[in-house]
Amino acid sequence: MTEASNTVRFLHDEDYGAPFDTRTLDHQSMVFMGGRLTESLNDGWRFVIDPFDTGLRQHWYRDEAVPAAERGMPWDFQPDHGAPVELPACWNLQEPELRHYEGTVWYTRWFDYAPSVDGERVVLRIGAANYDTKVFLNGRFLGNHLGGSTPIFVELTDGLAARNRLQLCVNNTRTLDRVPMRHFDWFNYGGVHRDVALLRLPPVFIRDLFVRLAPDDAGVIEVDVTLSDRSAEILVFEIPELAVSATIALRGGAGTARIPAQPDLWSPDSPKLYDVVARCGADEVRDRIGFRQVTVDGTQVLLNGEPVFLCGICVHEDDEALGRVRTEEDARRMLATAKELGCNFLRLTHYPHHEMVAQLADEAGILLWEELPVYWAVAFDNPATLADAENQLLELIKRDRNRASVVVWSIGNENADTDARLAFKTKLAETARAHDPTRLISAACLINKGNYRLEDRLAAVIDIVAINEYYGWYEPDMDGLAQTLTAYDLDKPLFISEVGAGALTGWDGSETELFSEAYQAAVYRGQIELLRGCAALCGLSPWLLYDFRTERRQNAFQQGWNRKGLIGADKATRKAAFAVLQGFYRERGGFSGA
Ligand code: GCB
């Protein structure tokens, strides 16, 4: 084919995306990260927007970056010519013109490489990028990843040279097959919003390590390990403080062990963590792990066999200045503010948050609910959508299953109860249980507002029945809450996963005026009065800690923000309802503020 006919083909080919839709970067390419040194690739990127996907149509990534005089043909793209950007960043906040851009962006960066040891393997890790990420190295396509909130791993070893051009093509278009789908109540930030780093690994390395207290025996620690290669024969596993030192025999590159041990148990009052080490050949990984059991008994949630009331709050991953980029300072402030509110629990909605939050919650003693973005309408009858959701679930589980703080996997939020949805979410629950028997499964279920009853077949599948109820706000009549609570007759814990009202910080309208702080505080008071008397209630996580950006809220009070925060978008100014919930949590014995 001549260059000219080739160009015509590029112009007319509407199947241009198919060769890049491999979905090969998935949970199986993950690498265990604990204790590993990484080399940051956050700086030095160039950035070009590509709303027509010309880069994929015309194979921009093959561009040789030669001077004009040496080119035989005109060209439309020069990767090194883009605007400079330091990652992580959400492009919507980079320049005003990009505020509402949804589509494709190319990131290009060069790096030098020289192996430090013979046979070294090199893996690129991207903490998260929203939503479809295609990776190219030195003009070669290495695979794509779906999902905007879980990590991406891609091995670079075979394609590396002394000088390398790395390109990421990231697309955040809302489509009918994605998870979430097209309609959701948060801002659709685009870009690489978590760190980019290189990992240097020995020829055989520890791919996965899952360490936990046995769910059936608090005197046993269970270990599952997977190596990158079938040839490894033994792995040494140690917990020095418990005098645990075990040699685990590996078969086909994997091994398991049950090791007798008597760790001090992890809990919010005593968030004890142990240093854990695993060695195999030239590879060594480390982690800090808490040991605990979480179970249900009738309508109670038990932590280490004792009933625990979940004094929670929901939180989005959003920041006025940084969007979905999370700094450590911001994560620490969030946990400290939650403690000030009296929380022992956070619901991280509606997608996997930065892994740092669970690491810090382990230290701080805050229980966590982590969630998949199976939100509102999703293409439940599309097998490719299920595969995407399941992969996001497995990436989340593998990333965070050593975190004692994480006690709930939520498989989604407020979907209509159809047969397809029930089958889809049942499959997710089964997958979660198969890969992690040490946590509870939940999801926000639906109430029939006509007869004030929980009516959702998913309730039979999950361990904690969660409901989002907005009595006092979307349903002004609080009496509906009383009826809903009285009608609850399942022998499972009931959790209020959302409740709340909008309030513009500082607007001092009266208790009867929507969007005033007084109105919001009155809703909290009314709710608490009714919830206090509900015996099946195992906790609540009102909606929510901070105001957050969302395109679909545009009235005069909202102006692009969901104002149901107990604290404004500045993450500092407390609204009147903050103290109301704080008072209730003090009474329920969450954190006393210490
Ligand atoms: C809900 C959704 C949440 C919304 C919230 C609201 O039920 O789960 O994502 O943001 O209500 O503010 O209406």
- Measured in Å, residue 185 CA sits from the centre of ligand 1 at 7
**Tens digits of per-residue pLDDT, 406-442?**
999 999 999 999 999 999 999 999 999 999 999 999 9
Q: Whose alpha carbon is nearest atom 7 of ligand 1? A: 468
The average pLDDT across 552-581 equals 98
Give pLDDT, residue 10: 81
Q: Whose alpha carbon is nearest atom 9 of ligand 1? A: 185
- Measured in Å, residue 499 CA sits from the centre of ligand 1 at 9
Give pLDDT, residue 1: 44
- Measured in Å, residue 542 CA sits from the centre of ligand 1 at 10
Q: Whose alpha carbon is nearest atom 4 of ligand 1? A: 185
Give pLDDT, residue 66: 82
The average pLDDT across 104-127 equals 97
- Measured in Å, residue 334 CA sits from the centre of ligand 1 at 20
In this structure, are residues 538 and 300 in contact, taking their beta carbons and an 8 Å threshold? yes
The average pLDDT across 201-220 equals 97
Atom in ligand 1 nearest the alpha carbon of residue 414: 8
Residue 590 has pLDDT above 80, yes or no: no
Question: Bridge partners of 121?
Answer: 201
Atom in ligand 1 nearest the alpha carbon of residue 474: 13
- Measured in Å, residue 546 CA sits from the centre of ligand 1 at 13
Atom in ligand 1 nearest the alpha carbon of residue 473: 13
In this structure, are residues 163 and 58 in contact, taking their beta carbons and an 8 Å threshold? no
Query: What is the token pair recorded at 254?
Result: 């994997």
Query: What is the token pair recorded at 161?
Result: 């040279």
- Measured in Å, residue 530 CA sits from the centre of ligand 1 at 21
Question: Bridge partners of 441?
Answer: 409
Handedness of CA 453, 458, 461, 466 (dihedral sign): negative
Residue 77: pLDDT band (50, 70, 90) is confident
**Tens digits of per-residue pLDDT, 433-487?**
999 999 999 999 999 989 999 999 999 999 999 999 999 999 999 999 999 999 9
Give pLDDT, residue 116: 94
Question: Bridge partners of 221?
Answer: 213, 259
Question: Which amino acid makes up residue 391?
Answer: N
- Measured in Å, residue 485 CA sits from the centre of ligand 1 at 20
CA 110 to chain centre: 29
Give pLDDT, residue 592: 45
Atom in ligand 1 nearest the alpha carbon of residue 562: 12
The packing angle between helices 419-435 and 383-400, to 10°, is: 30
User: Would strands 45-49 and 83-85 be described as parallel, antiparallel, or unpaired?
Assistant: antiparallel
Atom in ligand 1 nearest the alpha carbon of residue 564: 12
User: Would strands 152-155 and 129-130 be described as parallel, antiparallel, or unpaired?
Assistant: unpaired
Burial label, 119 (beta-carbon count in 10 A; 0-12, 13-18, 19+): exposed
Please name the residues in contact with 282: beta carbons below 8 A apart, sequence gap of 6 or more: 117, 202, 203, 204
Residue 68: pLDDT band (50, 70, 90) is confident
Residue 6: pLDDT band (50, 70, 90) is low
Residue 342: pLDDT band (50, 70, 90) is very high
181, 183, 184, 185: residue to mutate for ligand 1 pocket, most atoms within 8 A of CB? 185
Give pLDDT, residue 275: 98
Q: In percent, how much of the chain has pLDDT > 70?
A: 98
Query: What is the token pair recorded at 23?
Result: 């979905």
- Measured in Å, residue 147 CA sits from the centre of ligand 1 at 21
371, 442, 562, 563: residue to mutate for ligand 1 pocket, most atoms within 8 A of CB? 562
Average confidence score pLDDT of the chain: 96
Residue 9: pLDDT band (50, 70, 90) is confident
**Tens digits of per-residue pLDDT, 237-289?**
999 999 999 999 999 999 999 999 999 999 999 999 999 999 999 999 999 99
Least Cα distance to 171 among 148, 151, 150 occurs for 148
Give pLDDT, residue 134: 98
Query: What is the token pair recorded at 406?
Result: 């994480």
Residue 593: pLDDT band (50, 70, 90) is very low
Burial label, 334 (beta-carbon count in 10 A; 0-12, 13-18, 19+): buried
Give pLDDT, residue 594: 39
- Measured in Å, residue 313 CA sits from the centre of ligand 1 at 13
Atom in ligand 1 nearest the alpha carbon of residue 502: 12
- Measured in Å, residue 270 CA sits from the centre of ligand 1 at 33
Give pLDDT, residue 80: 75
Give pLDDT, residue 65: 76
In this structure, are residues 519 and 509 in contact, taking their beta carbons and an 8 Å threshold? yes
Give pLDDT, residue 216: 94
Please name the residues in contact with 590: beta carbons below 8 A apart, sequence gap of 6 or more: 309, 311, 342, 343, 344, 345
Question: Bridge partners of 235?
Answer: 248
Q: In percent, how much of the chain has pLDDT > 90?
A: 93
The average pLDDT across 522-542 equals 97
184, 498, 549, 564: residue to mutate for ligand 1 pocket, most atoms within 8 A of CB? 498
Residue 174 has pLDDT above 70, yes or no: yes
Residue 202 has pLDDT above 80, yes or no: yes
Cα–Cα distance between 349 and 340 in angstroms, integer? 20
Residues with C-beta less than 6 Å from any ligand 1 atom: 185, 350, 413-414, 468, 498, 543, 562, 564
Atom in ligand 1 nearest the alpha carbon of residue 500: 12
Q: Whose alpha carbon is nearest atom 3 of ligand 1? A: 185
Q: Give the per-residue SS3 of 460-514.
A: HCCCEEEEECCECCCECCCHHHHHHHHHCCCCCCEEEEECCCCECCCCCCCCCCC
